[in-house]
Amino acid sequence: MKRYTIRNRTDSALSENEQVLSDDSVLVNMIERLQEYEDFHEDLLLEYKQIKDQLQQLRESDRIKTVSFKQLFANKVMIEMLIERLHRTVKQK
């Protein structure tokens, strides 16, 4: 079984309280982080769908020049960027 030693910024092993992590604990940590990403992704998609629905309602009522529409559109673009970044982050890990 591999072991990982946590090192400080100077790259020397921690002397007094050396912390050794087993593969299992690293794997559990990675799984927990992935679950957090998935939960965040689901929340973003839900918010994105709600904003799209609100934008469509404003379009149907011909209110595309209102402040509400512009703010919702900005939120939609921001959420799209967050989703894209989240996908890139998860792919890299």
Tell me the pLDDT tens digit for each residue of 55-86. Answer: 999 999 999 899 999 999 999 999 999 999 98
pLDDT for residue 53 is more than 60: yes
pLDDT tens digit sequence for 4-21: 444 545 555 554 444 555
For residue 24, give both structure tokens. 């299992």
pLDDT band at 22 (very low <50, low <70, confident <90, very high): low
Higher per-residue pLDDT: 23 or 79: 79
